[in-house]
C-alpha cells in the first residue's frame, strides 16, 4: 500500500476506510473496510454493473453494457483523495477510487474516467482547464411523506422563513449552528469552500468553491453534497440538491465557471498579451452554444431538472451568451484579462459533478479545436427568446445519442450506458401517478 496512505492512517489513528466510487448519479458506492484489510490490499473488486444503477436503485440493462456474466472491475485508490470523514463517530477516512479493468485500462463507464478523458484531450493541446463551481441548495423541514410538499425548516428564532430573503445575513444566521458545524467539517475534509450567501428562494443557500483543477473540484463537490446532508441530519433538518424542490420557489443550479490556461506558462489562453479576448475564447463559447443541448442529460439528469429550466424562472432556456448577463445560459463575468472566464449557468445542482464538468469542458474543447464561431453577445434579456434547450429528459437523451462528436470524445460505451440509465429512470417515473393528475383528472375527465 502507498506510503502516503499508510502515513495518513497512522497519523489520524484511522479505524476504518470508506472505499468509494461515484456512480452515474453521483452517489457514493463502495465498501467500508477495516484498516488492516485496507493496508493489506492495493485495490478492491466490485461488480462493474454498479455503474449502471439508477437513482431509484434499479440496474439499467447491465447484461448488455457490462457483460451477461456480471464481471468484476478493479477499484484502485487515488492517493490524493484520502480525507477524514469528520461526522463519523470513530476515526474514519474516505478514499475515492478509480475503476479499471483487469488489464489496467480505465473503465469507460466510470464518471471519473470520463472526466479524466476530457482533461487528457486538453493536455494533448498543452492546455489545462480551470473551474470554479457555485452550488445552490435548500434547507428543508424533515419530511418522511413523499406525497407532501417540501417546506422551509424552523430556524433558531422558532419560525420558518416566509417570503424570500435574498442575500440576507440574518436569514443565514438563523441557521448558524448548522453552518458552523458544516464549516468545521469542510475544513477537516479539505473542501475549499469560500463564500456563503442566502439565495433567492426560501431557505435557499449558495456556497462557492475556490477555483482549481477540474478533477479535484469534482471530488470536492462529490464529498461536499454528502457533508451537507450529514450535517443537516445532525441538526434535525434535511438538505436537498433537487433542481426544483418547491413549486413556487426558484430552482437550484450548479453554475460552473471555466477557463483554460497554458499548461507551461499558466497564462489564460482566453486573453491575448494586450488584454483583449482571444479567438480561443470566442471559439470556446461557440462550442458551448453548439453542443450544450446535446449534453443536457449530463447537465439536467432527471425529470425534475426540466422544471427548473422554464421561462422567467431565473434559469436559462437557451444558449445565448452575454457580458455580465444572468439571463443567458452562458455568462461572461466582469474580470481582468488574467481571470477571463465563461460561466455555464445551465447545470442544475442535481448533476453528477464529474459528468457536468466533463460535459461543459467537452463542449468548449470541441469549439476550440474546430474553430466554431460564437453568436453576437446578448445585450437584453434572453428570457424573451425561444427555447433552445431540450424541454424534457426524453428529448435530451435522443439528442445526446445522436451526437457523434460527443460520443467520440466522451466514449461511445459511456454514452450508451449513461443514456440507458437515464432512459430507465424516465420509464420508472412514467409508471407513477402524480398528485396533479389525481387532483385535476380524477373527477373531471
CA distances from 227 to 20, 177, 183, 186, 240 (A): 15, 15, 10, 8, 12
Please choose, from the candidates 271, 48, 46, 242, the residue with its C-alpha nearest in 3D space to the C-alpha of residue 149.
Answer: 242
Residue 131's nearest CA partner among 300, 288, 254 is 254
Residue 144 confidence (pLDDT): 87
User: Which of these, 279, 429, 306, lies nearest to 367 by C-alpha position?
Assistant: 279
Question: 95 - beta bridge partners?
Answer: 19
Instruction: Point out the residues of the chain with pLDDT beneath 70.
Output: 1, 162-163, 165-167
Name the pairing type of β-strands 16-22 and 92-100: parallel
CB 51 within 8 A of CB 107: yes
Residue pair 1/19 in contact by the 8 Å Cβ criterion: no
Upper half-sphere CA count for residue 284 (Cβ side, 13 Å): 28
In a shared domain, residues 163 and 247: yes
Rounded alpha-carbon distances, angstroms, from residue 5 to 93, 259, 318: 10, 32, 46
Domain C-terminal end among 65, 85, 107? 107
Distance CA 235, CA 238 (A): 8
Same-domain status, 245 and 338: yes
Q: Cα 186 to the chain's mean position, in Å?
A: 18
pLDDT at 1: 58
What does the alpha-carbon distance between residue 287 and residue 147 come to, in Å, rounded to a whole number?
A: 41
Do 424 and 376 share a structural domain?
A: yes
In this predicted model, what pLDDT tens digit does every residue of 220-265 receive, in sequence order?
Answer: 999 999 999 999 999 999 999 999 999 989 999 999 999 999 999 9
Q: Could you tell me if 53 and 191 lie in one domain?
A: no
Burial 151-175 (b: 16+ CB within 10 A, else e): ebbebeeeeebeebbeeeeebbebb
Q: What is the pLDDT at residue 168?
A: 72
The helix (H) or strand (E) run that includes residue 253 is none
User: How far is CA 182 from its chain centroid?
Assistant: 19
Read off the DSSP letter of residue 383.
G
Q: Are residues 66 and 153 in the same domain?
A: no
Residue 242 and residue 341 in one domain: yes
Please check whether residues 150 and 69 belong to one and the same domain. Answer: no
Regarding whether 393 and 256 lie in a shared domain, the answer is yes
The answer to whether 434 and 307 are in contact (CB under 8 A) is: no
Q: What is the pTM of this model?
A: 0.96
Q: Which pLDDT belongs to residue 125? A: 98
- φ and ψ of 124, to 5 deg: -60, -25
Burial code (b: 16+ CB inside 10 Å, e: under 16) for 4-33 equals ebeebbeeeebebbbbbbbbbbbbbbbbeb
CATH (domain of 79): 3.10.20.70
> How many structural domains does the chain have?
2
Check whether residue 403 and residue 274 sit in a common domain.
Answer: yes
Q: What is the DSSP string of 80-145?
A: GG-EE-TTSSS-EEEEEEEEE-TTS-B-TT-HHHHHHHHHHHHHHTTEEEEEEEEEEEEEE-----
Does some domain include residue 353?
yes
Name the nearest CA neighbour of 299 among 26, 38, 19: 26
DSSP 154: B
Task: Extract the C-alpha cell encoding 363.
Answer: 463542449
Judge residue 433's burial from the number of C-beta atoms within 10 Å of its C-beta, 0-12 exposed, 13-18 middle, 19 or more buried.
exposed
Q: Are residues 309 and 345 in the same domain?
A: yes
Domain boundary among 81, 107, 133: 107
Tell me the backbone φ, ψ of residue 234, rounded to 5 degrees. -70, -20
Angle at the Cα of 262 (from 259 to 268), degrees rounded to 5? 45
Question: Phi and psi of 98, rounded to 5°?
Answer: -95, 145
Rounded Cα distance between 66 and 51, Å, is 9
Residues 364, 365, 369: CA angle, nearest 5 degrees: 120
Q: 250 and 166, same structural domain?
A: yes
Distance CA 140, CA 6 (A): 40
CATH of the domain at 373: 3.30.590.10
The residue range of the domain holding 55 is 3-107
Q: Is there a domain that residue 114 lies in?
A: no
Give me the pLDDT at residue 167, please. 65
| pLDDT reported for residue 161 | 75
Amino acid at each position: 500500500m502507498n506510503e502516503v496512505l499508510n502515513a495518513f492512517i497512522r497519523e489520524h489513528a484511522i479505524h476504518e476506510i470508506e472505499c468509494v466510487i461515484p456512480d452515474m448519479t453521483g452517489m457514493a458506492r463502495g465498501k467500508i473496510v477495516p484498516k488492516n484489510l485496507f493496508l493489506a490490499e492495493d485495490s478492491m473488486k466490485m461488480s462493474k454493473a454498479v455503474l449502471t444503477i439508477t437513482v431509484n436503485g434499479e440496474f439499467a440493462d447491465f447484461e448488455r453494457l457490462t457483460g451477461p456474466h456480471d464481471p468484476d472491475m478493479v477499484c484502485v485508490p487515488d492517493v490524493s483523495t484520502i480525507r477524514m470523514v469528520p461526522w463519523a463517530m470513530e476515526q474514519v477516512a474516505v478514499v475515492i477510487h478509480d475503476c479499471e479493468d483487469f488489464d489496467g485500462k480505465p473503465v469507460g463507464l466510470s464518471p471519473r474516467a470520463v472526466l479524466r478523458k476530457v482533461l487528457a484531450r486538453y493536455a494533448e493541446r498543452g492546455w489545462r482547464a480551470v473551474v470554479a463551481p457555485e452550488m445552490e441548495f435548500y434547507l428543508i423541514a424533515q419530511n418522511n411523506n413523499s406525497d407532501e410538499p417540501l417546506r422551509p425548516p424552523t430556524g433558531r428564532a422558532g419560525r420558518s422563513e416566509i417570503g424570500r430573503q435574498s442575500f440576507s445575513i440574518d436569514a443565514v444566521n438563523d441557521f448558524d449552528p448548522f453552518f458552523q458545524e458544516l464549516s468545521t467539517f469542510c475544513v477537516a475534509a479539505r473542501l475549499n469552500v469560500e463564500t456563503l450567501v442566502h439565495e433567492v428562494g426560501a431557505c435557499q443557500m449558495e456556497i462557492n468553491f475556490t477555483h482549481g483543477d477540474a478533477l479535484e473540484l469534482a471530488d470536492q463537490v462529490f464529498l461536499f453534497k454528502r457533508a451537507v446532508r450529514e450535517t443537516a441530519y445532525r441538526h434535525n433538518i434535511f438538505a436537498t440538491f433537487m433542481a426544483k424542490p418547491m413549486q413556487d420557489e426558484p430552482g437550484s443550479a450548479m453554475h460552473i465557471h471555466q477557463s483554460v490556461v497554458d499548461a507551461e506558462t499558466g497564462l489564460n489562453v482566453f486573453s491575448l498579451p494586450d488584454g483583449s479576448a482571444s479567438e480561443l475564447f470566442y471559439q470556446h463559447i461557440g462550442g458551448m452554444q453548439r453542443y450544450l443541448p446535446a449534453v443536457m442529460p449530463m447537465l439536467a439528469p432527471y425529470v425534475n431538472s426540466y422544471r427548473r429550466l422554464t421561462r422567467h424562472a431565473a434559469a436559462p432556456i437557451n444558449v445565448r451568451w452575454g457580458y455580465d448577463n444572468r439571463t443567458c445560459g452562458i455568462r461572461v463575468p466582469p474580470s481582468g484579462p488574467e481571470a477571463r472566464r465563461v460561466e455555464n449557468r445551465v447545470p442544475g445542482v442535481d448533476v453528477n459533478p464529474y459528468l457536468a464538468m466533463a460535459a461543459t469542458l467537452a463542449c468548449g474543447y470541441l469549439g476550440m479545436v474546430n474553430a466554431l464561431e460564437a453568436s453576437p453577445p446578448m445585450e437584453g434579456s434572453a428570457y424573451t427568446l425561444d427555447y433552445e434547450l431540450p424541454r424534457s429528459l426524453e428529448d435530451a437523451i435522443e439528442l445526446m445519442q445522436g451526437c457523434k462528436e460527443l460520443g467520440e470524445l466522451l466514449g461511445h460505451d459511456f454514452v450508451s450506458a449513461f443514456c440507458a440509465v437515464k432512459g430507465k429512470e424516465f420509464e420508472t417515473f412514467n409508471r407513477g401517478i402524480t398528485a396533479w393528475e389525481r387532483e385535476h383528472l380524477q373527477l373531471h375527465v
